[in-house]
Amino acid sequence: MRIIILTVLIGEFTACTTLDTNKVERPVGQLYNEAMNFLEGGAFQAAAKVFAEVERQHPYSVWATKAQLMAAYAYYEGNRYDEAVIALHRFIQLHPSHRDAAYAYYVKALCYYEQIIDVDRDQKMTVSAVNALQDVISRFPLSLYARASRLKLDLAIDNLAGKEMTIGRFYIQKQHYAAAINRFNTVIANYQTTAHIPEALHRLVESYTALGLLHEARQVAAVLGANFPGSLWYHDSYSLILKFS
């Protein structure tokens, strides 16, 4: 999901300009407005290039700082996430107390979030997204960006839990029950707010019964019944316990 460009960064220059992209020194307003025209037209790479020219030609202008952030945003919109992260990191390092610092941290988190893939594949980007979203929340807890980050954080964490569940199910299929138990315990310990908990508890019951550890299986089934009495997973666990009793 895309985000709206900061109004403060786009509402200042409104005059029409040429789309000439050579590096002959030009007025800051002309350059900035040209970059905005590119951005609004979907030419994100060209926009980032011209925003960089704003900073190069007018490094001491107030528009140089704005252009740094807008170049990063252009990279983000163009799905050039690595370049966006580099640009955002630079902006944050140069302007840690800037009024748009929260926005910069948030877009940086989105660069990772947009690259989250399905649970069957490597979750490196999901981990990076979780860390970056948590960074936004901890640094700017009362901001709108923190609120948006919390919503995305829940989805990212659910993805990490889903990855553990996928691996755990694989181990059950291969009858590597001890390894499966470790995965499901990880879900229960680290991802308690996700929707995967009922199944994780049932899979523990399944693994323990397969190993002949009926006492442990009954204990986990009791926890499942106490917390999710109406779930299908409890029904399955209860049936499994009866089968081995």
At 28-40, the pLDDT tens digits run 889 999 999 999 9
Q: What is the dihedral of CA 204, 206, 207, 213, to 10 degrees?
A: 100
The residue assigned the tokens 């002959």 is: 24
The count of C-alpha atoms lying within 13 angstroms of the C-alpha of 117, restricted to the half-sphere facing its C-beta, is 6
Question: What pLDDT does residue 23 have?
Answer: 57
CB atoms within 10 A of CB 97: 5
Q: Does residue 183 sit within a domain?
A: no
Question: What pLDDT does residue 6 have?
Answer: 52
Question: What pLDDT does residue 199 have?
Answer: 98
Q: Does residue 168 sit within a domain?
A: no
**Which of 57-61, 76-80, 170-174, 211-215 has the least mean pLDDT?**
57-61
Q: Does residue 125 sit within a domain?
A: no
Residue 62 belongs to domain spanning = 1-109
CATH at 52: 1.25.40.10
Residues 90-146 have pLDDT tens digits of 999 999 999 999 999 999 999 999 999 877 677 899 999 999 999 999 999 999 999
Q: Does residue 206 sit within a domain?
A: no
Q: SS3 letters for 86-107?
A: HHHHHHHHHCCCCCCHHHHHHH
Q: Does residue 119 sit within a domain?
A: no
Rg (Cα) of the chain, in Å, rounded? 25
Instruction: State yes or no: pLDDT of 178 exceeds 50.
Output: yes
Question: 156 and 137 in contact (C-beta within 8 Å)?
Answer: no
Q: Is-above-0.85 flag for pTM? A: no
Q: Does residue 145 sit within a domain?
A: no
Residues 48-96 have pLDDT tens digits of 999 999 999 998 888 999 999 999 999 999 999 999 999 999 999 999 9
Q: Higher pLDDT residue, 21 or 43?
A: 43
Question: 188 and 201 in contact (C-beta within 8 Å)?
Answer: yes
Question: 240 and 232 in contact (C-beta within 8 Å)?
Answer: no
CB atoms within 10 A of CB 24: 7
Q: Does residue 89 sit within a domain?
A: yes
- The pLDDT-based confidence of 20 (bands split at 50, 70, 90) is very low
Considering only the C-alpha atoms of the chain, give the largest distance between any 2 of them, rounded to a whole number of Å.
84
For residue 221, give the amino acid letter: A
Question: What pLDDT does residue 29 have?
Answer: 82
Question: What pLDDT does residue 24 have?
Answer: 66
Considering its fold, how many domains does the chain have in total? 1
What is the distance between the alpha carbons of residues 93 and 100, in angstroms, rounded to a whole number? Answer: 13
Structure tokens at 224: 């499942």
Q: Does residue 73 sit within a domain?
A: yes
